[in-house]
A = this chain, B = another copy of it.
Amino acid sequence: MSDQQKINIAEQRVQQIIDQVINFWLAQNKAIDTFLNQHPDEVYLQEVAPGRNRAVYVLAHLIATNDGLLPLFGFGEKLFPEIAPLATEGESAVDFELSFKDLKKQWESLNLFLEKRFRELTPEEWLGKHNSVSDADFLLDPQRNKLNVLINRASHQNYHRGQLIFLNERKVLAKLS
């Protein structure tokens, strides 16, 4: 095999894995979308289990978390700073009523924006540091890169989808009873 062929194979592998990670993230978004389009809006104003968060809050939390990727990846300022506190705090951290309709639109437009920017990043940028790690810390731990952040954020969505899904069965049960 020529050197050029070896370079091509290795570079194609890097690009394939990056594409797979982006697709993994898109698949997690889609699973949330499917869930959000399954019931009348009122259902999402309920708690996912007795005494737990409301589904509408979980959606706001996921938007605030994805929105945080913009400054973290150097894509600019957050699109929805008014719900930014919900990335780390409970529903009472904002002083307005969450609108499920508005949040659904924000979720969709934010994820379209992010996908577009993700597709533009080079392998070097994906494996480069994100903005909340210092140069010195990144030298010590090169795994603190953008690709790793994306895998973890996508999986974080799955963590909350596991909770959201409880609403589903409650509705079915309520219908049956």
- Interface residues in chain A, defined as those with a beta carbon under 8 Å from any beta carbon in chain B: 3-4, 6-7, 10-11, 13-14, 16-21, 23-24, 28, 49-52, 123, 127, 142-143, 145, 147-148, 151-152, 154-156, 158-163, 166, 173
Contact = CB atoms under 8 A, between A and B. Distances in A.
A177 to B, nearest CB: 12
A55 to B, nearest CB: 13
Chain copies in complex: 2
B16 A17 contact: no
Contacts of A4: 3
Max chain B C-beta neighbours (<10 A), residue from A11, A17, A147: A17
A51 B158 contact: no
A105 to B, nearest CB: 25
A11 B7 CA distance: 8
Q: Is the interface of A mostly helix, strand, loop or mixed?
A: helix
A16 B158 contact: no
Contacts of A16: 127, 142-143
A7 B4 CA distance: 8
Contact of A162 (B127, B154, B161): B161
A67 to B, nearest CB: 20
Contacts of A20: 143, 145, 147-148, 151
Nearest to A6: B7
A6 B4 CA distance: 9
22 contacts: A3-B7, A13-B14, A14-B17, A16-B127, A17-B127, A17-B147, A20-B143, A20-B145, A20-B151, A21-B151, A23-B143, A24-B148, A28-B155, A49-B50, A51-B173, A151-B151, A155-B158, A158-B158, A159-B162, A160-B162, A162-B162, A163-B166
